[in-house]
Amino acid sequence: AQKITQTQPGMFVQEKEAVTLDCTYDTSDQSYGLFWYKQPSSGEMIFLIYQGSYDEQNATEGRYSLNFQKARKSANLVISASQLGDSAMYFCAMREAYNYGQNFVFGPGTRLSVLP
Amino acid sequence: EAGVAQSPRYKIIEKRQSVAFWCNPISGHATLYWYQQILGQGPKLLIQFQNNGVVDDSQLPKDRFSAERLKGVDSTLKIQPAKLEDSAVYLCASSLRRDRNEKLFFGSGTQLSVL
């Protein structure tokens, strides 16, 4: 079964507007971490933001925030004031504390295109 | 601090040939991961090392893929013989520990084309 689901293969957003990228996950662990990475066309994987399963506050990093709804097992990424440089693939990932096997798994990604 | 080093950056081979990729993680990072990323898809975990031991290789096609991490530092991933469907970017990543809050640091990847 898919551990990470990203239901939006592609998204468009107008420059300076906010956009939400969806991510749902599946785990039976109580202790886990959720991560978002950005992959521009150059191919590098850039870490954006982290949310721990025990964190009560939603994580924020500059223009990035994570809308964490634990009961729904969702960890959506919100990008405020989109910029042209935000055009890239975005991957949601999960790390389970007690899963010694598939310890850091990624979703299929969402391609974000920012329109001028 | 030096990042994760990978080489070569690009490799083109014919099917049935062999190829090897090299990765040097960030100094002191105990965990090392190899991912395969097919164009347009998310990274798929192939193998995970903790120091020089294999933690998980359940997704590694062991009939053709092999990997090692001697002395718990750098690692090599080998494909022998290569198939057309092995065309992908091979990403190496490392983290200090396997704790739930430890992010992965990635190398620039090796783009493999199998003709």
Task: Count each helix (H run) and each strand (E run) in chain B, helices first.
Answer: 0, 11
Q: How far apart are CA B62 and CA B65, in angstroms?
A: 5
Write out chain A residues lying below 8 Å of B30, CB-based: none
Question: Which pLDDT tens digit goes with each residue over B94-113?
Answer: 999 878 788 999 999 999 99
DSSP-assigned states of every residue in B9-66: SEEEE-TT--EEEEEE--TT--EEEEEEE-TTS--EEEEEEETTEEEE-TTS-TTTEE
- Cβ contact B33:B51 at 8 Å: no
B window 44-103, beta carbon within 8 A of A: 44-45, 48, 55-56, 58-59, 89, 91, 93, 95, 98-103
Q: Which of B100, B108, B111, B112 to mutate to test the interface with A (most CBs of A within 10 A)?
A: B100
**Cβ contact, residue pair A43, B108, below 8 Å:** yes
pLDDT value at position B111? 96
Quick one: DSSP state of residue B4? -
Question: Which pLDDT tens digit goes with each residue over B46-88?
Answer: 999 998 899 889 899 999 999 999 888 999 999 999 999 999 9
Q: How far apart are CA A1 and CA B39, in angstroms?
A: 22
Write out chain A residues lying below 8 Å of B105, CB-based: 47
A63 min Cα distance to partner chain B (Å): 19
pLDDT value at position A99? 63
Residues of chain A with pLDDT under 70: 1-2, 98-102
What is the distance between the terminal CA atoms of chain A, rounded to a whole angstrom? 38
